[in-house]
Amino acid sequence: MNEPEPAEMNEFDVHDAIGESEHRADYRAGFVAVVGRPNVGKSTLINALLGQKISIVSPKPQTTRNRLLGILTREDAQLIFLDTPGIHLPLHKLGEVMVETAAATLPDADALLWVVDATGAPNDEDRKVAGIIAQARTRPPLIIALNKLDRLSEGSDTADRRRQEYSALAPHGEVALISAVRGDGLPELADRLSSLMPLSPPLFPQDQVTDQQVRFMAGELVREQVLLHLRDEVPHAVAVLVDEFSERANGMTYISAVVYVERPTQKMIILGKDGAMIKKIGQAARHQIEELLETRVFLELWVKVRPKWRTDEEELRRLGYPMPKKKRPRRRSTARNSSRA
């Protein structure tokens, strides 16, 4: 091969940024909104589909910051997954934000992927998700992924029963039988989703990850570990803000993050006896972040009490949760610019 001329080189760079020197005329690309109540295996599924290589892209930073987007770029299609934070009962403002976020994801998508846990019959939360799917203004094709099939005993008729139970909640959905952990049914699922995407060149460069997104993702991984370790004790009463994120000369990434809670009792729970719990949380989160960044990570966590943060919309916005836009009187105090507590 000859050295490319400078002009050609420019063109090559542009195509290369898209990750395909030339895309096929029948290339498909689009958005898949992943919905499902917590714990059904959405994150596991996305990670498995992407082969652990999550690329996080935030095309509209103001409105999508708490949706993690995983992008699967294949030879024939690009699937952009919108990973919703789960759909929760609107017990307080944060719950409402999450529900709105989840609901707002639906109309954008070219396909909906509803992940359910096949080890159990539909519960109230599943029915609520079904209700939101039914209420969506648009009705993209729906795939109901019956997950955790590895936990059903071979030859039992449970899978069939679950298929009927979940299908009944969303009759227009197609059922896919999968195990995100074992990988069963995932190639077929990716094929099917690809076929549902509109004809389009790839929408995103293949490996686009910005600092801002990685920072946010690191915070989300910390928050996830807090919730995983203390799901019952501190439901949603947690926000994580990454204060410092820097690469050190020794190839280490230094991350300092603050875990905000509402009450001193929650702070004590998160810290645990002699700091044992926060240590566990930190270790687990550090592992996850190291996998994401593929570098060694030094993670420092602080726990701070910030009463009522959940009901303070401005605070929520500052912490990265998209809030519905509302006209409100401007009452900016001049002290606002001073450094944070």
Q: In the complex, what is the shortest distance from the CB of residue 81 to Mg ion, in angstroms, rounded to a whole number?
A: 12
Q: Please report whether residue 159 would count as binding ligand GDP according to CB under 6 A.
A: no
Binders of Mg ion among residues 30 to 59 (CB under 5 A) are 42-43
Minimum CB distance to ligand GDP, residue 225 (Å): 11
Count of residues of this chain found to bind ligand GDP when the rule CB under 6 A is applied = 16
Site membership for ligand GDP, residue 43 (CB under 6 A): yes
Strand pairing class (239-247; 174-177)? unpaired
Tell me how far, at minimum, the Cβ of 176 lies from ligand GDP, in Å. 12
Residues 81, 84: Cα–Cα separation, whole Å? 9
Per CB under 6 A, the list member of 98, 180, 239, 316 interacting with ligand GDP is 180
- The listed partner (Mg ion, ligand GDP, none) that binds 147, CB under 5 to 8 Å by sort, is ligand GDP
Which residue spans within 27-171 are E strands per DSSP? 28-35, 68-73, 77-83, 111-117, 142-147
239 near ligand GDP, rule: CB under 6 A = no
Binding of ligand GDP by 148 (CB under 6 A) = yes
Among 19, 44, 200, 284, binds ligand GDP (CB under 6 A): 44
Contact predicate 136/100, CB 8 Å: no
Helices (H) and strands (E) in the chain, counts: 11, 9
Name the strand (E) or helix (H) holding 300: strand 296-305
* Structure-token match 């895309």, residue found: 23
Rounded distance between C-alpha atoms, residue 122 and residue 168, angstroms: 10
Could you say whether residue 38 binds ligand GDP (CB under 6 A)?
Answer: yes
> Quick check: helix, strand or coil at residue 234?
coil
**Closer residue to ligand GDP, CB minimum distance, 184 or 312:** 184
| Chain positions contacting Mg ion, by CB under 5 A | 42-43
